[in-house]
Amino acid sequence: MADIIQLTILGLALGGVFALMGSGLSLVFGVMRVVNLAHPALIIAGAYATYWGWRLLGVDPVLMMPFSAALLAVVGIVIYKVFFEKDAASAKYSDLTVLMAFAVAMIVEGALGGMFTNTQRVTSPSYATEAIFIGEIFIPKGQLIAGIISMTIIGSLGLFLKFSRTGYAIRATTQNREAAELLGVNLRFIALLSFAIGIALAGCAGSLVSFVFNFFPAKHWEWIAIMMSLVVLGGMGSILGTVVGALLLSVLASYVGAAAGATWSTMVFFVALFLVLLVRPQGLFGDKSELAS
Amino acid sequence: MTALLEVTNLTAGYGDGPAILSGAGVDVQPGKVHCIIGPNGAGKSTLLKAICGMLKIREGEVRFKGEKLNGLRPDQILRKGICFVPQERALFPKMTVLENLRMGGFMLTDDTVVNSRVDEILDRFPILRERATQLAGTMSGGQQQTLAMARTLIIKPDVVMLDEPSLGLAPKIVQEMFDIMRVMADEGITILLVEQNALMGLKHADWGVVLDLGRTLFEGPAQEILTDPRIQELYLGGKKAA
């Protein structure tokens, strides 16, 4: 029993981080219908920004988060302006942007590799190597902190979307672009803002990831599949769905890892991706009609 | 009487595609209900979309209170006081009725104004108050259309353009939609209505506009159009109107 609790807690903590990693992807897809394959590469960029702040200036990775978020938001705005703005009216926007996002991922990976080499990095603040013991159960402090911060950020994002004027506009645009525009929402501004927020979330995730995982520029290929599975399970564009998907799959992966070995735990995400697409392509919280449109 | 909204010799289409409108025009008189009729593909909906800025105007012009609207974005045209309710799906299905109404006041920056106007609307439409916390997408078609029409009142527009408000609704409910429209008109809101059911639309209108092949063929008092034998023959199914 203690084992199950232990595995569940580990899964939930990791799931929290995955949820943050996926939420920016989900927000961008919801508003812009862009499957931003470059999202995990940008998380890695955020992890590098955090790493160098920690390594060179001794700044704690968590304290580096606002900086990483701001830096990535600016990068996001530039990427949006250069790659994603001009074809927004095209009927094939989603198709075009998948390829462009793929190109952006390659560019980011290449740039990071060129600047920082392919050496594996990790930040190791003291809490990253400590654990809390409750009876027989141990909780790695780093994962716990990362999980709690992630859920706090997602919670704040949820409140912002639910109650602020801009949040209304973002949700409205996600649900019915045409109607939102007709009620006075400036779609271009909302798209730009959502993209900037989405990529800032990648920056936040990068700071947390920097002490939870080893990372190097090409690591994002591994993450994109994981993130797609969370987002697809939750329902493309639903942030709540992404969170639920992340927690569910991470806990499941944690059980599978314990039962069959760590190598198999990642399989959970891939198998889930296939199964969801086959059985319930709209995901847990998605709407079937949205698939058609 | 000077027209509130003057549309002259309009040419417009989708993207780089062929022109759907070529030479469409309409003079919209303040406080009246105008019904645009015409066969499928005549360009009725396209005309409304061009007026509200969703489509680029290639030629001709749209003037509102004497001011040219060509080239403005939908949000800018809304600010001038022209509100458009598109065909079907005009709502945010996963937002509550209340949130949908608040979105209707998105361009108003003062929250207290929005809240008090939302409250007025809920008073006027008890069904919406009853369902205030329900997700809009889970309501019946008639309730959704009521919400879409009621939502326009929040900004107190000068002109409301309705694209087939009766689409997919049961006859009894259709009558309710026209009743709501009439109330709006009685309050001084100018209505520009596109209606597939031409007889029904004209009966509730003051002014009729016949559009075919992207151009205005004829416009005049709705009663005259209803009784004009040529128009009956061509566009009203040849039946004598009541």
Pairing of strands B159-163, B5-13: unpaired
Q: Could you give the C-alpha distances from B116 to A138, A259, B124, B146, B234, in angstroms and in order?
A: 54, 59, 13, 19, 47
Is residue B98 a contact partner of residue B133, using CB atoms and an 8 Å limit?
Answer: yes
Q: Does A161 touch chain B if contact means CB atoms closer than 8 Å?
A: no
Contact B74 A182 (CB under 8 A): yes
For residue B155, the chain A residue with the least C-alpha distance is: A183
Mean pLDDT for each 10-residue chunk of chain A (293 residues)?
Answer: 88 94 93 93 98 97 97 97 85 87 96 95 94 89 95 96 94 92 92 96 97 95 91 87 94 93 89 91 76 50
Q: What percent of chain B is modeled with pLDDT above 70?
A: 97
Residue of B nearest to A238 (CA): B94
Per-residue pLDDT in tens (0 to 9) along chain B, 242 residues: 578 999 989 889 888 888 899 889 899 999 999 999 988 888 999 999 999 999 989 999 999 999 999 999 998 999 999 999 998 768 999 999 999 999 999 999 899 999 999 999 999 999 999 999 999 999 999 999 999 999 999 999 999 999 999 888 888 899 999 999 998 999 899 999 998 888 889 999 999 999 988 899 888 999 998 888 888 887 776 554 44
Q: Which helix (H) or strand (E) holds A170?
A: helix A165-175
Q: Which of A64, A63, A24, A17 is nearest to A41 (CA)?
A: A24
Q: How much is the pLDDT for B242?
A: 42
User: Which of A93, A183, A189 should be substituted to probe chain B, the one whose Cβ sees the most B Cβ atoms within 10 Å?
Assistant: A183
CB contact (8 A) between residue A182 and residue B95: no
What's B1-81+160-242's CATH class? alpha beta
Say if CB A209 and CB A61 are below 8 A apart: no
Written as six digits, the tokens of B228 are 């004009």
With an 8 Å Cβ cutoff, are B86 and A89 in contact? no
DSSP summary character for residue A134:
E
Backbone angles phi, psi at A41, to 5 degrees: -65, -35
Domain with CATH 3.40.50.300 in chain B: 1-81+160-242
Cβ distance B106 to A178 less than 8 Å, yes or no, reads: no
Query: What single DSSP character describes residue B62?
Result: E
Beta-carbon contacts below 8 Å between A and B: 66
Q: Are the Cβ atoms of A172 and B54 closer than 8 angstroms? A: no
Nearest residue, CB atoms, A183 vs list B89, B93, B104 = B104
Helix, strand, coil proportions of chain B in percent (round to 5)? 40, 25, 35
Q: Are the Cβ atoms of A186 and B84 closer than 8 angstroms?
A: no
The whole-number pLDDT of residue A143 equals 93
The predicted pLDDT at position A109 comes to 97
Asked whether the beta carbons of residue A169 and residue B106 sit closer than 8 angstroms, the reply is: yes
Q: What are phi and psi of B82, to 5 degrees?
A: -110, 120
Instruction: Say which residues have a Cβ less than 8 Å from residue B50's Cβ, sequence separation at least 6.
Output: B10, B12, B21, B57, B62
A178 at B interface, C-beta within 8 A: yes
Indicate yes or no: CB of B107 within 8 angstroms of CB of A183: yes
| pTM for the whole structure | 0.90
- Closest approach of chain A CAs to the CA of B75, in angstroms? 4
